[in-house]
Amino acid sequence: MRLNENTVIFGDRVILVPYRAEHVPTYHEWMKSPELLELTASEPLSYEEELEMQRKWHLDDDKLTFILLAQPETSTSTSTSNILEPSEIKECKMVGDVNLFLPDGITGQGECEIMIASKEDRRKGYAIEALSLFLSYLTITLPFDPSQLIARIGSPNKPSIRLFQKLGFGIIKHVKVFDEVELNYGVEDDKEIPSEIGLDVDINKKVDWINRSLEGRLGKYD
C-alpha cells in the first residue's frame, strides 16, 4: 500500500520506515533461516522473488508494511528527542518488520504479523513498541476499526501469542489441522483453548496502545 511510502514513525526503541528495495538484501538473508520461515509461515524465496514481493508490499492495496530499525542507544542527533536526521536513519540497524494483510479489503479482517529477526534483538521491547505504534498508525490513518484486527499464530509460538495478548488480543479459535490459534483485538480469551495448547493463565499487564498518540513521532522518509 502506498499510504506509508514516505512515512517514518519514531519510537523510543524502534523506528518504523517503509520497506524499500534497499532493505531487500538484509531481508533476504534473514529469510534463509528455517526457524523464521516456520514461525512466520513463509516460503523460501529467491532474491528476485523477494524483490518482487517488496514491490507488491509497496503497491498492493491489501498490504501495509514497515521495516523496523533499532534506535541508536546514544543518538548522535543534536536534538534531545527521538527524531533522527535522514542520514542518521540510514545508519540504524534493521531488526525486523511489521505488517498488516487485508485479504477482504479495508472493511474485512486485518491480519497482523511481526518479526524480530535475530535472537540477539529479541526481549528488548522492540516488538511491543513497534506493534503499539503500528496499530495506532493504521487505526488512525487508514482508518481501520481495531475490532477487525486479528493474528494467526502457530500454537507452539508462545512468545508471539503472549505478545498479542499483552496488546489486548484474545484467543478465539484453535484451528487444530494447522495447529494454529486465532486472536482478535478487544475480546476475552476463549475459556478452553489456552489450557488445550498448554498456555498458562495470562497475567500480563495490558499495553493500552489505543490511546497512544503519534504526535511528534511522525517524519518523512526520503
Ligand X SMILES: CC(C)(COP(=O)(O)OP(=O)(O)OC[C@H]1O[C@@H](n2cnc3c(N)ncnc32)[C@H](O)[C@@H]1OP(=O)(O)O)[C@@H](O)C(=O)NCCC(=O)NCCS
What residue ranges bind ligand X (CB under 6 A)? 36, 39-40, 113-116, 122-128, 151, 153, 157-160, 162-163, 166, 204
Cα 17 from Cα 144, distance rounded (Å)? 20
In the Cβ-directed half-sphere of 148, how many Cα atoms lie within 13 Å?
A: 17
> Which residue, 15 or 115, is less far from ligand X as judged by CB?
115
Identity of the residue, 85 or 172, whose beta carbon is nearer to ligand X in the bound complex: 172
Q: Is the Cβ of residue 58 or residue 162 nearer to ligand X in the bound state? A: 162
To the nearest whole angstrom, how small is the minimum distance from the Cβ of residue 149 to ligand X? 12
Name the residue among 121, 160, 186, 210 with its Cα closest to residue 40. 160
Q: Rounded distance, CA 109 to CA 104, Å?
A: 7
Q: Which is nearer to ligand X, 85 or 173 (CB)?
A: 173
Comparison of 1 and 100: residue with beta carbon closer to ligand X:
100
Place of cell 524480530: 116
CB of 91 to ligand X, least distance (A): 21
CA atoms within 13 A on the CB side of 166: 15
CB of 23 to ligand X, least distance (A): 16
- Angle CA 107–136–71, to nearest 5: 135
Residues in the chain: 222
- Closest distance of CB 151 from ligand X, Å: 6
- C-beta of 73: minimal distance to ligand X in Å? 16
Q: Calculate the alpha carbon distances from 165 to 146, 161, 162 in Å.
A: 14, 6, 5
